[in-house]
Amino acid sequence: MRGSPLNFIDARQVPSGTVLRPDLAIIGGGPAGISLALALANMQIKMLLLEGGGMEFDSATQALYAGTETGVHYIPLDATRMRYLGGSTNHWGGWSRPLNESDFEKRDWIPYSGWPFPRSEIEPYYPRAQALIEGGPFLYDGLADGKLPGDLLPLGKGGLYTSFFQFSQWRGNPDHLPTAFGKRYAQDLKRIPNLQLMLNANVAGLRLAEDVRWLDHLDVATLSGVKFTVKPRHTVLACGGIENARLLLASNDRAPAGVGNSEGLVGRFFADHAIPRSTATLVVFGGKIAGFYKTNLNARGTHFRATLAPTEEFKRKRRLLDSLITMDQRTELDELGRAAVATTSAALGIDASNAKAYALGCGLELTPDPYRRVTLTGERDVLGMPRLKLNMTISDHDFASYRQTLVELGRQLLASKAGMLRLDRKSRAEWLGVLDWGNHHLGTTRMHQDPKQGVVDANLQVHGLANLFVAGSSVFPTYGASNPTLNLVALTLRLADHLKGVFR
């Protein structure tokens, strides 16, 4: 039953009752699982990567993700992620940006904030993570220091600055789509001699040893009815921010609250980046703005786009959440808008006869909330796994924090005489009316050194279980405003280094 180097194994061909004994089992073939397998390729250990889906989308497999949502409107649980090799990189937009230093800090105005380590801890892993996502040279805000195809929007002294995203761009793909990890790295994975990659292999249970301090084995099942067992020395759970929690919670035969859930934290603190549309209107008095604010451009060996972001100093001083502002489509001003522009530009002595207006979008960090969570329901999928219910929340405080950031942007535009800003959303109903989400699943197995406050420790090991680790953005204790893939890959590469020490 060898997969590599010839091909992946189809779990449907594995005889029921088989027991596999790898050194390391990786559950989930998304960006975290694949990055981990690639990073451990040279280790003399037997690895088994279990992917629930196949190489392509399959509706029966995808249906295993179905659940229910309550609270604030959220994307259906079977539409917000992808269950086949590559995971959610099969539908991502490629937006990439490292987290800010302040995102790791204990911020006394944000409850439950603070990573167990500073950004410098994962800084060394960013270049390799950048290479894996195929984002070009690691430049980001350094793009502002070099030649760009256009001028930066003059903002004057203040709380916001032009910050840059870079984009994953699958180099061999003529359409320049973002890197879909499954297809992009399939051949690389097949070449790893000590890796077996098994498709259509759904882990349906994490079974603890009697003393509940050791993960004894995994129950694996296929939709065709095959059932077998994996008894790994160590296991990394890398199924994504929703499914990691589901698997831990559902594995409740020996630990009644679920694996790693003695403190009731698994599934809590779920988060995503809120991306309300058309949150504000930005008018550029002179009418001209560099193209990289409005769309993705290629320069200096990378695909990039400018956003407007609050500085670290501004967020600390005003006690704000992180956010990023994007300039979206052109828009027309109404009569009041034309009056505002005419009056203000005249008072400032600026010619605004060619003024142009743009709708602004954004990505918002949420305040961690233990009641924004996934829980098991009584309904089960065809494999017998309990389905999930997500209770989604967003607080008025989170909208208000972003609104303060927008007001500062408006002030800076006036200070530099470059333009002005209208705040398009005020009431909760208005915000909720334009609310969308980033499909970034964060926080359900949060990291904290104290077992009472986190599911995993700083090495991503589940508290109290010596041989179970969690990879992916479910471990993020706070979320920043940066898209998670680059960051979770960097964090996974750090985990790989830790595991090398474990296996030596």
Partner 1 sequence: MSARPNRRAMLMVGAGLGALMLGAGGYEAWRLFGRHYPPTPYDDLLSQLTDREAARKIGSAYSASHPEFSARSAAHLLRSRIRANDLRPALLTEIADNSVIEAGHWVMPESLVLLCAIAAKT
Binding-site ranges for partner 1 (CB under 8 A): 335-340, 342-344, 346-349, 406-407, 410-411, 414-415, 420-424, 426
Q: Please state, in angstroms and rounded to a whole number, the distance separating the CA atoms of residues 410 and 398.
A: 19
Q: Is 362 left (phi over 0), alpha (psi -120 to 50) or beta?
A: beta
Decide: residue 409, CB within 10 A, 0-12 exposed, 13-18 middle, 19+ buried.
buried
C-beta separation of 473 from 484 below 8 A: yes
Residue number, 101 or 351, with CB nearest to partner 1:
351
CB of 130 to partner 1, least distance (A): 37
Residue 360 dihedral angles phi and psi, to the nearest 5°: -105, 135
CB of 328 to partner 1, least distance (A): 18
- E strands, 408-499, where? 419-423, 468-470
The number of angstroms, rounded, from the C-alpha of 143 to the middle of its chain's C-alpha atoms is 23
Q: How many residues does the chain have?
A: 504
CB of 110 to partner 1, least distance (A): 23
Beta-bridge mates of residue 115: none
CB of 408 to partner 1, least distance (A): 9
Segment holding 388, helix H or strand E:
strand 386-392
CB of 431 to partner 1, least distance (A): 14
Residue number, 43 or 352, with CB nearest to partner 1:
352
SS3 76: coil
Sign of CA dihedral 340, 346, 347, 350: positive
Residue number, 19 or 336, with CB nearest to partner 1:
336
Residue number, 286 or 337, with CB nearest to partner 1:
337
Residue number, 63 or 342, with CB nearest to partner 1:
342
CB of 418 to partner 1, least distance (A): 12
Residue number, 404 or 459, with CB nearest to partner 1:
404
Residue number, 229 or 278, with CB nearest to partner 1:
278
Kindly give, in sequence order, each residue whose CB lies less than 8 Å from that of residue 460, ignoring residues fewer than 6 positions away.
447, 469, 470, 471, 475, 491, 495, 498
CB of 470 to partner 1, least distance (A): 43
